[in-house]
A and B are shown apart, each in its own frame.
Chain A
Amino acid sequence: MILFLVRRALWFLLTLWVVATLSFVLMRSVRGGPFSGERALHPSVEAALRERYHLDWPMWKQYLQYVGPLNLDGHGPRFVGGDGSDRFTGLFALDLGPSFHYRDFTVDDILRQSLPVSLALGALALAWALILGLTAGVLSALWRGRALDVGVRLVATLGIALPNFVLAGLLVLALSFGAGLLPPAGWGEPRHALLPSFVLGAPFAAYVARLTRSGMLEVLSQDFVRTAVAKGLPRRTVVLRHALRAGILPVVSYLGPAAAGILTGSLVVEKIFAIPGTGTHFVNSALNRDYTLAMGVTLLYTALVFALNTLVDVAYTLLDPRIRLEDA
């Protein structure tokens, strides 16, 4: 297990480096720069901005500066812009640099403000997905073929098929303007989080329900369950302690991709509900050619997805005694 984690950590660093390099090359090769606008800048102003953000350097030097750890900027004090007095900079110094578009912020500032919001939204959405999905899946498996089962499967199919912006629109119409229960958008109070997290979690809840149902059906027909029932254990104990533990394995392995999907998929929901999370930056930074922010967000998501997948692998061994990570 420890060997496994060490190997994973090394892979993690390598992955980050590859992603950083790729996104650097991709960002810089896209047409259009961070300073263009309908009203073009005077050439002297553009030159000053390029100098401040080191865009006047050759590409390899910009890359080295971005990755770090040594600060190549030795130009001494300036009136505007950093003075190059820090010895270390770049990724290795855990410095994602200044944002090109939001000039009053560094990329670190922006991520520090927006990530907790996205994580909170994602955690709530995952909670919706698990609570609704597991409950519906187990009930559906126990009452297989009955009306409840058919209903759950119907809703689940709908949930997967409905795009979240449609669901969002319908719910806002019904709950905000119809019933007047919840605000149509915004962030800052618990009531603001209910609708968006539900909309974000709904398709995943549907998928979890289907996985749980098929997992449970398979397990419920196995010998150890029959043995447990034969021993005279209450049905509740058999389902929750024996069957569920094995039955949700597919759900656990789905949790990694689901969490990643929720995080990266939050951008639409964030936009519809005006939530100041990271998802918005994922799109806008690329549109704005905000090189550093786009790379920062990409790296952050890489790290998150990597960490989630590792967590799932570890969880898997602990739930299923047949799997050992040393072999992985």
Chain B
Amino acid sequence: MTRAGAAWAFRRGLALVLLAGLGAGFLSALRGSLRARADFVFNNGTEITTLDPATITGQPEMRVAHALYEGLTVKDPATLAPLPGVAESWEVAPDGRRYVFHLRAARWSNGDPITAEDFAWSWQRLLLSETAAPYAYQLWCVRGARAFAEAPPERRAERWREVGLSVENAHTLVVELDEPVPWFLTLTSSPALFPVHRASLERVREREPERWPSQWLRPGRLITNGPFKLVERRVNDRLRLVKNQEYWDADAVAFGSLDVLAIESLSTMLNLYLAGEIDWLDRVPTDLVPALLERPDFRPAPYLATYFYRVNTTRPPFDDARVRRALALAIDRRAICEKILKKGEHPCFSLTPEGLEGYPRPELAHAADGDPARAFAADLAEARALLVEAGYGPGGRPFPTLEIHFNTSEAQRDVAEVVGDTWTRALGVPVRYLNQEWKVYLETQKRLEYDVSRSSWIGDYPDANNFLEAFRGGGENNRTGWRNARYDERLVAAARELDPGRRLALLAEAEGILLAELPILPIYGYVSQNLVSTRLDGFHPNVLDEHPPKFWRWKSAPEPRRRASAPQPAPSAPADSPR
């Protein structure tokens, strides 16, 4: 072949390759074009890490889990009170240590019946150390569960027989607890205790022994028991869920399909919401909050989470409680909430947030005057006096430079600068700022290589214990080096206490100790920031910011066809064939 011929052939070839590439591009772009928009579309904010309910911890994962699975109980969308789920009814013994659950005749998405054995097996799987379930400890309240979880493999069978979990018959599950756990019925409605379909998991494990952990949760293989089931999953794009016709309460589920998007960019998600492509966002760009507050569909609400600074109590001068108290008093919480955050966050003087029913929440002692400015001035005066008492400032040593440590983000920096500015101007404490990328920041905090470090805690269930437990001496979530025997004692005593009022009083006593010692400096209480279509019914603001999809429906849409009396739900919508 001549060179010119080769060149010609090559150019033709190149053109063909380019054309083929473009064609392939279009085809892959076209692949989804037959897919109509789902009945309801919400943005989850990120790609979820897994669909395995036993190992999830994040809110995005939980949102999907609440659509795909159902526990023994479900939460009321407004009050969060336990409602019947797979369990039709239950009895609690007077001492709060024994629960008998009566399961209804519910089915998995493949038609298999759900039995008490399914729950026993799933809970056993949760406890096993190989599952590496972060929330396995939530089940340690069951008698013998912790001993089973920590037993060597050869003693497991023996230990399992001692666990307070018995299957009386296919529809009766008895759970015995070591101590009364007032929030146990909240746990049974949370993902860690959701049932997993044993047969399908084991089938995949047998066929693909090396790769099954990434295989059994695939669309088409995953069998679930919730109001929706998985039909499609594309990483960083979307999950398509359709109504599960086998679900026991399928008639009450209004939406035929859900799309769960994984958009991370705040402005992109807002654009899509404004263009009507998304119906619910769980967060909004901070600079647009004042404008959004004018809209009826933006509904910030108190949320069970606290923003605080950790103090490294192993590092002088922060080992002195007076210094920590001075720092805690000299934080202009009102300025932070009103000038920076603006969504209705509220100044917070305790670790536990508002919204814990019956809990006599203590606060760190501070001046409470009708006039906030005057009160803050009094707090600053006390803070200065405390520092002098500790030997710093006028007549004492100069205070060493303090470093505020936070994860890289504009919002964190803004808060840190307000706090640091007050400390410098009012207390004469020189302040430096250190921002680190998220994982580095976590590691620095874990190794106690900071002075003061930004933190937050989000409640799993509405009980003070969920917050206070974190600061038990030596716990992995303590990360302040603080340890107080009296504090730990109160927590243990509260766990043993049968009387609900006295239990909460003991917890409040513990928090009182924490707020006198102040290994943490509380700053503000979070609000959820839902931007959600006003047409949506069954979506209520609540302190856990949890919104079970089972209850969602359109207000103004024509009444979904309800067949309350029809025994057999006829598959009316072609929801199962999105492709």
Contacts and interface: CB of A to CB of B under 8 A. Distances in A.
Interface of A: 30-33, 36-45, 47-49, 52, 77-86, 98-99, 101-106, 109-110, 113-114, 116-117, 119-121, 123-124, 127, 169, 172, 176-177, 183-190, 192-193, 271-274, 276-277, 280-281, 287-289, 314-315, 318-319, 321
B51 A104 contact: yes
Most-contacted residue by chain B among A36, A124, A274, A280 (CB, 10 A): A274
B265 interface: yes
Nearest to A172: B271
A123 B22 contact: yes
B272 A40 contact: no
Given A78-B130, A79-B128, A124-B25, A32 B275 contact: no
B477 A40 contact: yes
Interface residues of B, number: 78
B235 A102 contact: yes
B236 A280 contact: yes
5 contacts: A30-B439, A45-B133, A187-B29, A193-B26, A315-B10
Nearest to A78: B130
Contacts of B261: 274
B211 A82 contact: yes
Contact of B24 (A49, A120, A190, A314): A120
B81 interface: no
Nearest to B10: A318
Contact of B33 (A98, A103, A189): A189
Counting chain A CB atoms within 10 Å of each CB, the highest count among B22, B134, B236, B262 belongs to: B236
Interface in B4-40: 6-7, 10-11, 14, 18, 21-22, 24-26, 28-33, 35
A121 B24 CA distance: 11
Contact of A40 (B18, B440, B446): B446
B4 to A, nearest CB: 8
A42 B218 CA distance: 28
B211 A106 contact: yes
Contact of A31 (B22, B130, B131, B443): B443
A228 B395 CA distance: 94
Given A109-B214, A190-B30, 17 more contacts: A32-B437, A32-B442, A36-B443, A40-B446, A42-B476, A79-B131, A81-B130, A104-B51, A176-B271, A177-B271, A183-B277, A184-B274, A189-B32, A273-B268, A274-B261, A274-B272, A276-B262
B55 A85 contact: no
Contacts of B130: 48, 52, 78-81
Q: Which one of A33, A127, A288, A318 has the greatest number of beta carbons of chain B within 10 Å? A: A318
A39 B129 contact: no
Nearest to B9: A318
A189 B29 contact: yes
Nearest to B478: A40
A123 B19 CA distance: 9
Contacts of A185: 263, 268, 271-272, 277
B29 A120 contact: yes
B319 interface: no
Contacts of A85: 209-210
Contacts of B391: none
A104 B33 contact: no
Contacts of B10: 314-315, 318
A40 B469 CA distance: 13
A111 to B, nearest CB: 10
